[in-house]
Structure 1
């Protein structure tokens, strides 16, 4: 399903004064109050269902998106259009800045991994803000820096850490407050860029040490400290 199929809400007066979780987590929470107020008034809330695409690689830029609830998968078409999962994003994550600021087509695709509530800051509103108040270019470049650091960090993990360390890091990142990770072993293998046959013995080992518990379509983190011990393994 394309983004046009999502549920779009007109902001209520209350929503115009609140950014929800985006006011407390991620890029926008660190920006000036007046910038946050502009975002709350200019943005539109959108709800996406699991498996629904927010946008595709090659689409024209239409603004940026902030994740207020749920989880997102960031994918890149590598070989013959086959998507590679680059990142599983959590609350506070913002995306779309690269294409928006450079006025180029999207290079990645963005899909809802679970039901997602997102704030969309439209292209027209961003351009008007920057035309009227160029000082806010710096705010958007801060977002670009955050996302560059995420990409560089993921690359560094692949090049320097063991697969067990990367599995532990991803499970720690994905764990929600209930300590459940709603992800299949196949999805986890895609995020890490490995075959399931390589992932399976590591999950079996972690389950054998009671660090995790394997269930149907989810992995429960039983002992975060046990995962922490392996997360820097080289």
Structure 2
């Protein structure tokens, strides 16, 4: 169940959010006037670790742009379980598909730790699209971007060799990482779930990647040291 949300009152916080979202991700690729119209109609929300931005089957209420923190994307499994398939950091936007198709949410989004997100309410977006219908192309671009990610995740699961699959997933995760020091907050249990391999296999693969000089492993985190070497391993 989604927990209560706290609004961020500071104007400085909104200015910071604007700077982050205009620098990376889908919004950064939009025209300046559209970026301004979207951000000015949004509000900042805070989520604690474990809180849901929205859940599976929820009615759509708007779009979410991640300003800080990490979220996990959850999908329903065949046996009724919920599976974490992806993690995302600042610049990531989600909520478009259910919103514009007027269907329930197909995925859930959960804060991995403290998260700040810019929320664009449904009413604001509807008013904006009615006044400027041409901007639907921009929202289709977001749906295309998120579908591209989904297909990439699916393709990753088709890789049979565990070392290759994990190396590819680490390269993908690193593309969206926002920490300037290169460290990625990623527990080994999460990586195991994301790649559909056992925890002992993940541990063995990470040890091999570390010994090869491709990555450095820390407690609940890792960083890429040699992307060329990691890509070489990923290519088999």
TM-score w.r.t. the length of structure 2 is 0.89
Partner residue of 1:227 out of 226, 230, 234: 230
CA–CA distance in structure 1, aligned partners of residues 111 and 17 of structure 2: 23
Distance 1:7 1:14, change over 3 A: closer
Paired residues for 1:56-205 under 5 Å? 56-160=55-159, 162-172=161-171, 173-174=173-174, 176-205=179-208
CA contact (8 A) 1:76 1:83 kept: yes
CA–CA distance in structure 2, aligned partners of residues 187 and 70 of structure 1: 16
Runs of 4+ in 1 over 4 A off after TM superposition: none
- Give 3-state SS (helix, strand or coil) of 1:79's partner: coil
CA contact (8 A) 1:11 1:45 kept: no
CA–CA distance in structure 1, aligned partners of residues 210 and 16 of structure 2: 45
1:169: how far off? 2.8
CA contact (8 A) 2:74 2:82 kept: yes
CA–CA distance in structure 2, aligned partners of residues 143 and 46 of structure 1: 21
CA–CA distance in structure 2, aligned partners of residues 17 and 197 of structure 1: 41
1:212: how far off? 2.6
CA contact (8 A) 1:50 1:115 kept: yes
1:130: how far off? 1.2
1:91: how far off? 1.8
Q: What is the count of residue pairs matched by the alignment?
A: 232
Distance 1:90 1:13, change over 3 A: closer
Partner of 1:19: 18
TM-score w.r.t. the length of structure 1 is 0.89
CA–CA distance in structure 1, aligned partners of residues 185 and 220 of structure 2: 6
CA–CA distance in structure 1, aligned partners of residues 12 and 147 of structure 2: 35
Give the gaps of 5 or more residues in structure 2. Answer: none
1:43: how far off? 0.8
Aligned-residue CA RMSD (Å):
2.2
1:36: how far off? 0.5
1:18: how far off? 6.5
